[in-house]
Amino acid sequence: MSGFGGFVLRRGIGTVITLLAISVIVYVVFFVTPGNVAQITCGPRCSPEQVHQVAQQLRLDDPLYLRYWHFLQGILVGQDYSTGTSVEHCSAPCLGLSYQGDQQVTQLILAKLPVSLSLVFGAMVLWLIFGVGTGVLSAWRRGRFTERLLTGITLAGVATPVFVIGLVLMIVVCGQLQLLPFPQYVSLTDDPEQWAWNLLLPWLSLALIEAAAFARLTRASMLETLAEDHIRTFRAYGVGERSIIGRHALRGAFAPIIALNANNVGSAVGGAVLTETLFGLPGIGQELVHAVNVVDLPVVVGMVLVIGFFVVIANAVADVLYAVADRRVVLA
């Protein structure tokens, strides 16, 4: 269907443009800060020579667009850095070198990525199942006690900050009840069972909040669909309530659910940062917080770019899925 193909193409191009734009903005914002970049990164206890050295390494003398170009080059084809004694090649995508110990940012990120991915994707599965399931249940049992109870619970869920739930869970489950040990990350490849057990609490704290939001959205969308004319048609033909809810009302909620999920990837990433910090999981989020505290700019920029990249891709995928769920958007 050329209409659809054209739609995908347009979104693809849009995504690339968005990514480029983000990279420009991020770069400009961070490396063109008020105050002396070199001074900031070096820290207050640096001597003027050290500051000068940092400035040199950052090539701060070059005009802005040239610096950005080098940066972009690094990402696309790699770059060479001199560390004083030797020349190190940083292969694409090269995001620079960390100020703390000259580690390649890309390597750093790659090392930490599996943790964060485990966290976010595991939580996503949980929140989709619980959230949508609860929403459907609420819509099905609308007007009855079950619905009101669920509505109350989801409301409370939406109102609680992520880290509060995490804190409470950790304290109650690990501290008081001692059902689980305090989580320590175990790699999936090492020991799948331990991996899952240790991630259970982080998953729950991240997923519960998002699930509540999904439950609310699913319920609202389904109720809105139930008020539409085509539902009346099927009722007028004797179609049972279960089919109406499961086949027609739910289908109407797909598109908004997909849209919300796209947006939630962004906020879930934020939640992941909090969860990692709280539970001490060695992921990107925790590293980012650390880098921010010591103002390790290349790491910060690198991580922001990577995360932004994922979010943009997730949004684009969601847009396409949305169009699949609701063909009418393609015509608009």
Q: Which of residues 199-238 bind other proteins (CB under 8 A)?
A: 209-210, 213, 216-217, 220-221, 223-224, 226-230, 232-238
Residues 50-79 that bind other proteins (CB under 8 A): none
Determine the Cα–Cα distance for residues 319 and 278; give it in Å rounded to an integer.
32
Tell me which of 5, 12, 240, 246 binds other proteins, using CB under 8 A: 240
For residue 139, the 8-state DSSP code is H
Tell me which of 1, 87, 177, 332 binds other proteins, using CB under 8 A: 332
DSSP labels, 239-251? --HHHIIIIIIHH
Residues 6+ apart with CB under 8 A from 203: 119, 122, 123, 126
Q: Does 1 bind other proteins (CB under 8 A)?
A: no
Which of residues 147 and 196 has its CB atom nearest to other proteins in the complex? 147
Which of residues 29 and 66 has its CB atom nearest to other proteins in the complex? 29
Q: Which amino acid is at 235?
A: R
Which of residues 94 and 206 has its CB atom nearest to other proteins in the complex? 206
Q: Does 160 bind other proteins (CB under 8 A)?
A: yes
What angle is formed at CA 78 by the lines to CA 76 and CA 83, rounded to 5 degrees? 150
Listed ranges 67-75, 80-88, 102-110, 249-257: which one lies at the site for other proteins (CB under 8 A): 249-257
Q: Does 262 bind other proteins (CB under 8 A)?
A: yes
The whole-angstrom distance between residue 8's C-alpha and the CA centroid of its chain comes to 22
Per-residue x/- mask for other proteins, residues 174 to 193, rule CB under 8 A?
A: -x------------------
Shortest separation between residue 89's beta carbon and other proteins, angstroms = 27
Residues 6+ apart with CB under 8 A from 33: 40
> Torsions phi, psi of 61, nearest 5?
-80, -25
Tell me which of 34, 48, 84, 101 binds other proteins, using CB under 8 A: 34
Token pair 């004083």: residue = 84
Q: Does 282 bind other proteins (CB under 8 A)?
A: no
Which of residues 188 and 324 has its CB atom nearest to other proteins in the complex? 324
Determine the Cα–Cα distance for residues 204 and 210; give it in Å rounded to an integer.
10
Shortest separation between residue 184's beta carbon and other proteins, angstroms = 16
Q: Does 167 bind other proteins (CB under 8 A)?
A: yes
Q: Which amino acid is at 208?
A: L
Listed ranges 60-68, 117-125, 188-196, 262-270: which one lies at the site for other proteins (CB under 8 A): 262-270
Closest CA to 285 of 264, 306, 313: 306
Residues 116-145 that bind other proteins (CB under 8 A): 142-143
Shortest separation between residue 329's beta carbon and other proteins, angstroms = 6
Structure tokens at 82: 């001199």
Q: State the burial class of residue 295 (Cβ atoms within 10 Å of its Cβ: 0-12, 13-18, 19+).
A: middle
Q: Does 44 bind other proteins (CB under 8 A)?
A: no
Q: Which amino acid is at 296?
A: D
By CB under 8 A, the count of residues binding other proteins is 101
Per-residue x/- mask for other proteins, residues 300 to 329, rule CB under 8 A?
A: xx-xx--xx--xx--x--xx--x--xxxxx
Token pair 């995001």: residue = 95
With beta carbons less than 8 A apart as the criterion, state whether 330 and 120 touch: no
Closest CA to 261 of 196, 304, 332, 207: 207
